[in-house]
Structure 1
Amino acid sequence: MNIRKIVTLSEEILTEGGRPVTPGARVAIAVAVVENPWAGQGFVEDLTAGIDATASDLGALLTPKVIEALGAPVEAYGKAAIVGIEGEVEHGSALIHTLKFGDHYRKAASATTLLPAVEKRAPAGTVFDIPMKHITDATIRSHHQSVEVRVADAPHPGEILIALAASAQGRPQERLAPLSTEQ
């Protein structure tokens, strides 16, 4: 795995809707920009070798970084793969939609639900939203949220940007009724 750069971001929302958010709503993102393991090979039928060589290491690398950047227990989480324009969306999907990648995060966060994801092919500097859901119950509406991310110089055409996102709570000032009220 060839890593060009790692980016960690965090934010704390202190006001929403003109009202204080107490405590502040914390969100964090950890990003690795890596060489696409299938770059320059044309169409690769079996992606297993690249998955085996890359996915678990990426999960092990990014998980502690996003948790440390959050600085609080993870309540909502998500992931992303943005593939440079010389790759295929399937290349990013191959790295993040495997237990070799996601189980690092699930175990560290004591999570039981699938990680919501976004994946797409895009040029460097593309803005993308990482969806997040509650770590143990994807029907908890308060934790349905997303975080906007942009890495100005990534991904290069032969790279993949892989990211994990975490939130320490639901949306600031959330006030939707539970899903059970509509069933």
Structure 2
Amino acid sequence: MPDVELRKMLVTVETIYHEFGPAPAQPLQRAAALAIIRNPFAGGYVEEISGFMDDLKPLGLDMADRLIAALGGDPAVVEGFGKGAIVGTGGELEHGALWHVPGGYSMRERLGDSKAIVPSTKKVGGPGTRLDIPITHINASYVRSHFDAIEVGLPDSPRQDEMLLALVMSTGARIHNRVGGLAAADIRGEDGLR
């Protein structure tokens, strides 16, 4: 499989202190790591692409490490995660699907083998395309308080022959969450759902 050619990377952290109501004891932090890589399959149909997932694994681990570092260095503070990809217009949606395994399993590995599936989204678009990446709790997908999203994108990316790959993490529930459902404190962690 081809080498991973990285053009640029961005790591950003958003800190939310309050949402109209009283400030919580601990602000919520949401972080995103974006990597812009050359899409080795851009420009035409290639039948066998799945081997590229193995090539992307080191990038996934590096991005997960950068996110944890940006959130203070302790993986125990991470309660939510998600992933996504924007494929440049010279590629196809399936190229973004190559990020499912290396992106998701890298975060799960660095966070102590979390139980929940890592939510994901992908699309094809040109430079400046934005993507809303869903977030759920790392151990139970049904924890409503942690349903969230982070919008990501870069003005010059992805170019036609590139992909923007993203991982996101958060340190807790939405500020002032109050729509009920399974509480994080009540997770059984048996199936990644509850």
Normalised by the length of structure 1, the TM-score is: 0.90
Kept in 1, the 8 Å contact 2:80–2:170? The answer is yes
1:151 CA displacement = 1.1
**In the alignment, what sits opposite 2:105?**
103
1:87: which partner in 2?
91
Q: 1:14·1:22 contact (CA, 8 Å) conserved in 2?
A: no
- Which of residues 115, 119, 136 in structure 2 aligns to 1:116? 119
More displaced, 149-158 or 16-25? Answer: 16-25
**Per the alignment, do residues 27 and 101 of structure 1 end up closer, same or farther by CA in structure 2, a change over 3 Å counting?**
closer
Do residues 49 (structure 1) and 51 (structure 2) align? yes
Say if 1:39 and 1:86, in contact at 8 Å, map to a contact too: yes
Structure-2 separation of matches of 1:51 and 1:78: 17
Partner of 1:63: 64
Range that drifts further, 14-23 or 149-158: 14-23
Partners of 1:130 and 1:148 within 8 A in 2: yes
Residue 130 of structure 2 corresponds to which residue in structure 1? 127
Runs (5+) with no aligned partner, structure 1 = none
SS at match of 1:22: coil
Q: Which range is displaced more, 134-143 or 31-40? A: 31-40
Q: Distance in 1 between matches of 2:124 and 2:171?
A: 29
1:165 pairs with 2:168: yes
Quick one: which of 24, 34, 37 aligns to 2:27?
24
Residue 78 of structure 2 is matched in structure 1 by 74
Identical columns (%): 36
CA contact (8 A) 2:83 2:103 kept: no
- The whole-number CA distance in structure 2 between the counterparts of 1:57 and 1:33 is 14
Moved over 4 A (4+): none
Q: Please tell me the residue identity of whatever aligns with 1:97.
A: H
From the two aligned structures, give the one with the greater strand fraction: 1
Deviations 1:120-160 (A, max 9, x none): 00111112111000000000110010011221111111100
| 1:136 partner amino acid | N
For 2:23 and 2:10, locate their aligned partners in 1 and report how far apart those are by CA, in whole Å.
29
One-letter amino acid matched to 2:91? G
Decide whether the 8 Å contact of 1:13 with 1:21 is kept in 2. no
Gaps of 5+ in 2: 184-194
Retained in 1: the 8 A contact 2:103–2:167?
A: no
Q: CA deviation at 1:179?
A: 4.7
In the alignment, is residue 7 of structure 1 matched against residue 40 of structure 2?
Answer: no
CA contact (8 A) 1:79 1:115 kept: yes
